[in-house]
Structure 1
């Protein structure tokens, strides 16, 4: 037996595992946490330790470097300067983004009720690869910085679109905070960016939709993110939880417990960040969405949000909501930004409880509710204060009549713990709600490392683990209450904290999707959404009306507690309303449209104008044309026709969209097109030619027949182009012509269009080499000495070619394998040549060539 090696406490658990397995350190890239940066540099020099790619994160005294593993054992582990050594891991984009649903987190309602609150004036950084900065959904809002990646990925573009897309490409391209500015930074380093980066570019939210493996410990990167938040109090770091929800961790207290404690990255163990899991359109949590608890039993993820098949998009949604909250606070508080702890408190307090009642290790504190978060912030239902150890702050609270639930959430940004600490919490505060002789403590989960313990419902007790504490009280008696915050353990400076609270009213009902002017697709399943304050066992009667007609039944027994219904809309195009009847009370939705999206096409793209056209929508009263003149699509023209000629002198944009007008309301916009990229030039979409039997077949495709009075097929002759044929009737955009008498050698064709105003437009010419009765032909012949010679074959057969001069001497030998094979210019001197072509079947053809 081998002796078990001693495990140095300075190593991260990932490297510790290698020691346990009697292996050596395998990786050359490390992160090293030190007590003093200058002393560490001198230490490396003094011990002559060669390092490569040395980088330094100043805020936390962390070096990223490459070095020989033997120097770790021999020098670094022996030095008091070195506090912690971490293997440098490669981040991975947490993919599987399939669609986007703004209704799942009440963003549609937010956009409708508060159209000016769109993240304007805020700047978000997307930490991963670089998004496609030419994407029209980011028009005029992307800020380049030295920290951005050189590589562009689809994932980065999708995440940026979900956070801040402008909706210029299509309705699915509209993000949560569509007015915010955007930048990005490379995620090759798992550490935060320098404080100066956030401050110089006024970045207030950074999105992190990536992970590594399941890592259950408080490492140097987790400490660094807690420091980053302390140094930049208004900065919010939002992380995806990960897509490894069915796995079991291999290290830590929850080792081998399948389906729990599988967040992807030790940086997600930080206390002052937000970690977000996924929900699907039906508010269910996908199995692959990573779950908590954190390595020490804290509640993770804190929130969930929409992200089909993955949590990348979930983080993006919460980043977008955070930007809007910051904008709202800034507008109400003399242009100052809120603390990230306040934004976190508002988000957690306004979240919709899903899954097991109260907090849990799968959905955290619930599903993010953007609309309710804005309402909470604008009503001012929050408190900012600070205290020292042993101090208690008491606040009065008046609870009105008719409250279904009262909720309070306490959040503070905790100082960083020591790396590898068994418990991350340093400053411990206690929240309590009081009414006379009664009191209520926060909801606390059992974090004992057994699956059955982790699945237990939350209980009311003192929380000594989390820097978030939440109390709810269902159907509270109206009257005077107090809540208190006590400094249980604060060994250092006074601890600042934030508390948000709200009252949810009984027997209210609010439609969340569709809202005014939104669109439902005809004949398809569409998820409609609402929020209900009625008893969870109540049902409602769902009906719809088209164009103000009689109400038609959808379902007489709708479960209100689900907050959604999968409705197959009528296969029609119209204005529509929904209504829900509950105990005789009727709740009618805003007016919305039921319409299909139409396809915008280009008829011609000429020097002075562009023809756009689209299919007819019988129920439309007109069509709205949109143009991307500035950062966002703007309505520019209304027409009753199904085509329009755009004058380039009046509209400089290359991008256009169209929407049918139903009644007086524009319905869903088409995909936005760039008319220069649709394969249509000035009328001509394509002009093709090919040889078939002994004929040359010509094919013409036009974008439009608008204003064309004649179409002529022309062929180049020694005297110029001559008309071969004029189309007698012009009704089709796809035309064909057959030249039954092609010329041996080169044949050059074009098409001539004559417009109603006398303007003539020519296609590009097209050249076809044709070998007539002979299988092979030489062209041109005679040929100038410094011109190339073409051997034209009727078929692309394989053959060999020999060229002899007039004396019978072999001058050139070449393999023929195409319809046109070339002897380069200058290969043959002046004179007469005999070309012998021997096909694979043994057939010999002799040709004469004169070089002048």
Structure 2
């Protein structure tokens, strides 16, 4: 890890250094100011390069995260905190007229640091072979420049063109990001401008990633008519979804009345298949029905729907987006991810769902075993969902991309069936395809069902998308290693459990500020084998150059009534230098001294808890941009509880056909036996002595009449 020590000559003590050195942790390395006493007031020459239009643009470092009162005092003094950077550092502006630097010590300021210009240049820009889409020619690179958001884009562009005359502005991608073309020899000069916060390659272009599925997701249990036992008739009705893919979808009778807007161009039928998984009606073939056949679909090319937000969110009521596309392997948290997190925090009912990628058999993440192969920055955002591909028997597909992200976060978030999925093709045809491209729309469709379920119980009001994500993660069926992992995320989606969580109101929300601890009472019922308590928060957008993307850090724990037993969350830690071994290692339970400081989700698991009251403590460990809203979701697995989820009453079977019987159960040591009846009185054996870990069985329907 590279460290830069900034040495100055003259010094007068400004703030206490008893807290130790504060490191600025960026993708380019760790940077330490060993002479924190200097500031523009006593060494204006050292900070001259940071001055722009009456303000010094600096890295303002604190001994500890400033409180809301401190932030208000800084603002009153004209000091603006623009963007948090780990650790305890903000990109900030200080008026040139500000003179009372002794007051900074009262505000726990450790130092005022002149930004290091080469620290602003993404390391990938120096390796043309890894960013071919951003290479215009031997010398010119297409870049995204993150600029000071306190300055208008037009003003910033003019300033940068004056600074680097060859700088060619091409587009604005966000309020604080622009795309441009610039030569490699001038990138370092560009980085020295005070308005430039970070320079990285432009986004990689989108590329296509190549009825048993719905039963695996427990979707058929909630999407039923009155002819079925416990029928809820939840089919995503009223929920508007956008799908970005390879263009025009159809024609197919399964989309009749379901596609509100269709793309004009067409470059394949990948999108037809994806669309059918989301909202296909099964009109032509009733056994091939989507996960949300009542939802409304809007079809776009590639990621073009993202450019239509907020209009389509505000005026067309779009609440979910689905993208079975890829970009570059192991891109990590970049400007794409940042823009995603901005959207998902600004529009609280919006959720972006992505395929995790089909690079699980590759080493593009630099590690054998397919680790760190999530394909694209969009799906590496903290608040979106990336989906892994499992088979219909819950095994991971060999091509499914794995985590972690470059900063160590858990991705993918969740898994769904994406192998040998039968879905729509043009001209009323169907075909089988496999990939995370098929798993992604399955999750999108099931989320639409959860939105509908929430609206029905909340007077038609939308849920916060962060709450729906938390419910989906916490009720997912844990696969692979116990707890979360970098293969399945939090497990395979279980829509029945998620709907029941909504119906039983097993969730709550709260807010927490810096240093505050908020407690919640949780009454655990009797006969619980496992209780899962998840805390999730929609984290603010991070600085794209930061080494760690988490902005607000919340830590949780659960204690029993007497306080004698403390339960800590799962922790996944692949280490500073991940290996195939560390990425495959199971999650461990944390402690008072070992906490998760990189993910915006924590889950505490209680095994065989005694019935009674428990206390969930939610601590604002590092709330740099608050107050922070969080959601708590609770799920119970009962002892010796077995539930048949398919078939569940009302189905008709053809003699001789193969039916996959599925059931849910808590962890048990006994074996399973399956029986059937044709008259409701006499039970006939199907099989017995099934392993305690088995949750499905393939049954050939007998040739009898009922």
Deviates more, 1:111-120 or 1:372-381: 111-120
Compared CA separation, residues 156 and 239, structure 1 to 2 (3 A): same
String of CA shifts for 1:312-333, please: whole Å, max 9, x gaps: 1211111111111112212222
The Cα shift of 1:573 comes to 6.5
Cα offset, 1:470, TM superposition = 0.3
Is the CA contact (8 Å cut-off) linking 1:105 and 1:370 kept in structure 2?
Answer: yes
Aligned to 1:762: none
Query: Corresponding residue for 2:318?
Result: 203
**Which structure's residues are more often helix, by fraction?**
2
Contact 2:367–2:579, Cα closer than 8 Å, also in 1: no
Secondary structure at the residue paired with 1:347?
Answer: helix
Contact 2:247/2:302 (<8 A) preserved:
no
1:432 alignment partner, SS class: strand
> How much has 1:131 moved relative to structure 2?
4.3
> Among 228, 237, 242, which residue is 1:125 paired with?
242
The match for 2:351 is: 236
Q: Residues of 2 paired with 1:91 and 1:42: CA distance?
A: 30
Contact 2:141 2:201 in 1 (8 A): no
Counterparts of 1:322-337 in structure 2, within 5 Å, are: 322-337=447-462
Residues 20 and 408 of structure 1, relative CA distance in 2, 3 Å threshold: closer
- Alignment correspondent of 1:42: 158
- What's the CA shift for 1:557? 1.2
SS at match of 2:501: helix
What are the within-5 Å matches in structure 2 for residues 171-190 of structure 1?
171-187=286-302
Matched, 1:405 2:530: yes
In structure 2, distance between residues paired with 1:573 and 1:44: 79
- Counting only pairs closer than 5 Å after superposition, residues 204-283 of structure 1 correspond to structure 2 as 204-250=319-365, 255-283=366-394
Cα distance in 2 for residues equivalent to 1:521 and 1:14 = 58
Question: What are the residue-to-residue correspondences of 1:55-454 with 2, within 5 Å?
Answer: 55-58=171-174, 60-64=175-179, 67=181, 69=183, 73=187, 76-82=190-196, 83-95=198-210, 101-112=213-224, 113-144=230-261, 148=263, 150-151=265-266, 153-187=268-302, 193-250=308-365, 255-308=366-419, 309-435=434-560, 436=562, 437-448=564-575, 449-454=578-583
1:778 aligned residue: none
Deviation larger for 112-121 or 238-247? 112-121
> Secondary structure at 1:111's aligned position in 2?
coil
Residues 1:553 and 2:670 aligned together: no
Task: For residue 305 of structure 1, give the secondary structure of its aligned residue in structure 2.
Answer: strand
Q: Displacement of 1:283 after TM fit?
A: 0.8
CA distance in 2 between counterparts of 1:565 and 1:105 reads 16
- Over 3 Å counting, the alpha-carbon distance change for 1:389 and 1:70 in structure 2 is closer
Provide the C-alpha distance between the structure 2 equivalents of 1:200 and 1:51, rounded to a whole number of angstroms.
Answer: 35
Any idea what SS the aligned residue of 1:15 has?
helix
2:597 match: 464
Contact 1:385–1:496 (8 Å) recurs in 2: yes
Contact 2:367 2:580 (C-alpha < 8 Å) held by counterparts: no
1:791 maps to none
**Other structure's SS at 1:561 match:** coil
Pair 1:33-2:152 in alignment: no
In 2, Cα distance between equivalents of 1:13 and 1:274: 27
Cα 1:568–1:554 shift into 2, 3 Å:
same
1:483 match: 616
1:301/1:362 contact within 8 Å kept:
yes
Cα drift, residue 560 of structure 1: 4.2
Aligned pair in 2 of structure 1 residues 168, 131: CA closer, same or farther (>3 Å)? farther
Quote the offset at 1:516 in angstroms. 2.9
TM-superposed deviation, 1:456: 2.3
Larger radius of gyration: 1
Q: 1:503 corresponds to which residue?
A: 636
**Aligned equivalents of 2:120, 2:278: Cα separation in 1:** 39
Q: Which residue of the partner structure matches residue 696 of structure 2? A: 564
Count residues with an aligned counterpart.
557
Which residue does 1:18 correspond to in 2?
A: 128
Could you tell me how far apart the structure 2 residues matched to 1:39 and 1:410 are?
42
Partner of 2:664: 531
C-alpha separation between the residues in 2 aligned to 1:190 and 1:126?
A: 8
Q: Cα gap change, 1:25/1:266 in structure 2, threshold over 3 Å: closer, same or farther?
A: farther
What is the CA–CA distance in structure 2 between the aligned matches of 1:318 and 1:20, rounded to whole Å? 31
After superposition, what is the alpha-carbon deviation per residue over 1:499-537, rounded to whole angstroms, capped at 9, x for unaligned? 10022222222211223333445434332111123x532
Give the deviation of 1:477 after TM superposition.
Answer: 0.8
Counterpart Cα distance in 2 of 1:302 and 1:491 = 24
- Matched-pair contact (CA < 8 Å) for 1:407–1:502: yes
Instruction: Specify the SS of the correspondent of 2:693.
Output: helix
Structure 2 unaligned residues grouped into runs of 5+: 1-115, 225-229, 420-433
> Pairwise mapping of residues 581-620 of structure 1 onto structure 2 (< 5 A)?
none
RMSD (Å), alpha carbons: 2.9
Aligned partner of residue 526 in structure 1, secondary structure:
strand
C-alpha separation between the residues in 2 aligned to 1:528 and 1:257? Answer: 36
C-alpha change, 1:521 and 1:312, in structure 2 (3 Å) is farther
Aligned pair in 2 of structure 1 residues 542, 19: CA closer, same or farther (>3 Å)?
Answer: closer
Q: 1:278 to 1:21 in 2, by over 3 A?
A: closer
* CA apart distance, 1:130: 2.8
**1:220 and 1:354, CA in 2 relative to 1: closer, same or farther beyond 3 A?**
same
Shift in alpha-carbon separation, 1:395–1:306, aligned structure 2, 3 A: same
For residues 220 and 131 of structure 2, what CA distance do their matches in structure 1 show? 53
Separation (CA, whole Å) in 2 of partners of 1:519 and 1:28: 61
Distance 2:251 2:129 in 1: 48
Displacement, 1:371?
0.5
What is the distance in 2 between the residues matched to 1:111 and 1:27?
54
Equivalent position of 1:682 in the other structure: none
Report the Cα distance in structure 2 between the residues aligned to 1:100 and 1:84, rounded to whole angstroms: 46
CA 1:401 to 1:100, structure 2 compared with 1: closer, same or farther past 3 Å? closer
Q: 1:114 to 1:32 in 2, by over 3 A?
A: farther
User: Judging changes above 3 Å, is the alpha-carbon distance between structure 1 residues 524 and 9 closer, same or farther for their aligned structure 2 residues?
Assistant: farther
CA distance in structure 2 between the aligned counterparts of 1:372 and 1:20, rounded to whole angstroms: 43
Counterparts in 2 of 1:188 and 1:325: CA distance versus 1, 3 Å: closer
1:731-788 CA deviation, whole Å, 9 max, x = no partner?
A: xxxxxxxxxxxxxxxxxxxxxxxxxxxxxxxxxxxxxxxxxxxxxxxxxxxxxxxxxx
Residue 471 of structure 1, CA deviation: 0.9
Normalising to structure 2: TM-score of the pair?
A: 0.74
> Would you say the 8 A contact 2:529–2:609 is kept in 1?
yes
Given that 1:86 and 1:219 are in contact with CA atoms closer than 8 Å, whether structure 2 keeps it comes out as no
Q: CA deviation at 1:114?
A: 4.3
Please report how far the alpha carbon of residue 246 of structure 1 lies from its aligned counterpart in structure 2 after TM superposition.
2.1
Q: Which has the higher strand share?
A: 1
Relative to structure 1, the CA distance from residue 525 to residue 196 in structure 2 (aligned partners, 3 Å threshold; closer, same or farther) is same
State the alpha-carbon separation in 1 of the partners of residues 123 and 277 from structure 2.
Answer: 35
Tell me the distance in 2 between the aligned counterparts of 1:519 and 1:154: 32
| Pair 1:88–1:190, CA change in 2 (3 A) | farther
Shift of 1:394: 0.8
Output the CA distance in 2 between the equivalents of 1:79 and 1:172: 61
Structure 1 91/141 Cα, relative in aligned 2: closer, same or farther at 3 Å?
A: same
Q: 1:515 aligns with which of 648, 661, 670?
A: 648
The superposition leaves residues 99-125 of structure 1 with CA deviations (integer Å, 9 ceiling, x where unpaired) of 762111111112234443211111001
Unmatched tracts of structure 1, length 5 or more: 1-5, 576-852
Q: Aligned in 2, Cα 1:44/1:463: closer, same or farther, shift over 3 Å?
A: closer
Tell me how far 1:75 sits from its aligned partner. 6.5
Deviations 1:625-677 (A, max 9, x none): xxxxxxxxxxxxxxxxxxxxxxxxxxxxxxxxxxxxxxxxxxxxxxxxxxxxx
